[in-house]
A = this chain, B = another copy of it.
Amino acid sequence: MADDALVLGLDVGGTTIKGEITDAAGRVLAVGTVATPQGEAAFEAMGALGDQLLSELTAELRSRVGRAAVVLPGIVDTVRSIAVFSSNVGWRDVKVGDRFSDRWGIPVLIEHDVAVAGWAEWRVGAGRGYDNVCVVILGTGISGTLSVGGRLLRSSYGQVGEYGHIPVRADGLPCLCGNTGCVETIASGASIARAYTRRSGREISGAAEVFALVDTDPDATAVLADAVDALADGLIGIVHAACPELVILGGGLAGAGAALTEPLHRAIADRLRLVPAPQVVLGEFGARAGLAGAALFARQGALE
């Protein structure tokens, strides 16, 4: 793609679809957000958002848009271009195929939102320059990426990085996946908020509020300690298997900052003897990691 080419990136979440057209320097030339309709209608909303962003450009700029990337949640089959399953958006085996490339007149790549988010944090975010990096995207769900020896792991057998569904509590809570005691049932944003309300009897707006209370409210401290323990228990097998030098906490929940990174580093180090402990740092893109990843993926054309 030419150096002065523009790219369109769409990050489809359970609540909103975010889109941006950016240049090689990351400057945003058009930006928009729409609510995510459930089911098949979400694909029409993606198409319309792309149309709108492209229509906001001058004809000269429009002609320079060289490629788009649409990044999707859930299980994504990039080879067959199918949204296999998303509990949040209600998809099951929806063919994405060429519907956007025909509509926008440019090549359109499809990827998993977390794969591009973790890849972007590794390549151009908090993991720049490291070869062995585990990125954990914390949000509504928990999943991530793993890069070892300078290579991003992708398995042809299924979707990698499903850290949120590692079962860590034999007597745990039921998970949406059908299992019990998954990391997500303790450490996701929704789970942290629920656990705090269950413990304290107080309704709160979300996990961010629990993080804000952590120094002053014993209930918040206890809930966060549980979340950190669950994350450490979930990641400890991966640390032994792959020996990452860096764990990056990305996604919306990573706004908790040192309240999350320092205890998680300690909890992982406490569980290790033989293997060196990874650093634990925050991602640089926060909740924008998916969009940053979509733009980078559209520009480079491959996750490398």
Contacts and interface: CB of A to CB of B under 8 A. Distances in A.
Contacts of A242: 146, 153, 155, 160, 241-242
Contacts of A39: none
Interface stretch (A53-61, A211-219, A230-238, A288-296): A230-238
A271 B276 CA distance: 28
A159 interface: yes
Contact of A236 (B160, B237, B271): B237
B238 A241 contact: yes
A165 B239 CA distance: 10
User: Which range contains the number of A residues in contact with the other chain?
Assistant: 35 or more
Interface of A: 75, 131-132, 146, 148-149, 151, 153-163, 165-167, 175, 177-179, 234-238, 240-245, 271-276, 278
B149 A154 contact: yes
A143 B242 CA distance: 12
B274 A177 contact: yes
Contact of A275 (B165, B234, B243): B165
A281 to B, nearest CB: 15
Contacts of A234: 237
A273 B179 contact: yes
Given A148-B153, A155-B148, A166-B236, A160 B273 contact: no
